[in-house]
Amino acid sequence: MTAEFPVIGLTGRRRTARMLGMPPGFNDSPADIYLSEYAQAAIRAGGLPVHLPLDVDARQVAQRIDGLLISGGADIDPAHYGADAAAAPDYGDALRDASELALVQEMRSAGKPVLGICRGAQLINVALGGSLVADLPVGTGESHAARDHPRALRRHNVTFEAGSLAARLYGPSVAVNSFHHQAVDVPGKGVHVSGWADDGVVESIEVEDEDILGVQWHPEALDSDPAFEWLVTSSAVLITT
């Protein structure tokens, strides 16, 4: 590892090879899926992205990578934050939940930076004992859960708390894209809400005295976003000291 290329671990999801158009005999083969935009954004920011299988030992990973990016994806099991299963029907990846929750704790123990995107921001809050809004309504236009627009379309405004990490990165406000039907509700221990949409929905979180940032939008789909530069720069600092 070098200061020029801090190693950034990226999480993904596990499905079956049927999704990839494999021959019928391989349809049930496990396939780890990583959306390329996360890795591309990390590369543009000066990092060396490494995809992390769900089976890796979280403690060993935290010792070897310099920063962690928790990607978007399906709902977290409501049992992890004390909600009824009916509250979030789009869940069911217990291995991913367990893997990412462990990674957050091990990265915290190692004092290394973490960036959570969409589900990743929610996962950080749950890992620290917080809860989620189970279901925001799906809609169009400025709706948080709109699914009828291109990924890079900036649909609504986010306002940041003065003096927060998010405000230092983005300024007082920024227009973002939006694809989430859940959001942070009660912040976990040490979690500080630093950004809100105009309707009050939480859009960014930070963890007090730790290099941890969660954003509810999808910056990897935009031309550029300072969150990736923050993650890579914060990771590089650790390997030069």
Which of the residues are catalytic? 118, 218, 220
- Environment class of 111 (CB within 10 Å of its CB; exposed 0-12, middle 13-18, buried 19+): exposed
Distance CA(39)–CA(66), nearest Å, equals: 15
CB 191 within 8 Å of CB 205: yes
- In sequence order, the 6+-apart residues with CB closer than 8 A to the CB of 66 are 1, 6, 7, 8, 112, 235, 236, 238, 239
* Helices and strands (DSSP H and E) totals, the chain: 6, 13
- In sequence order, the 6+-apart residues with CB closer than 8 A to the CB of 25 are none
Give the residue among 171, 160, 165 at the shortest CA–CA distance from 196: 160
Three-class SS of residue 192? Answer: strand
CB 126 within 8 Å of CB 220: no
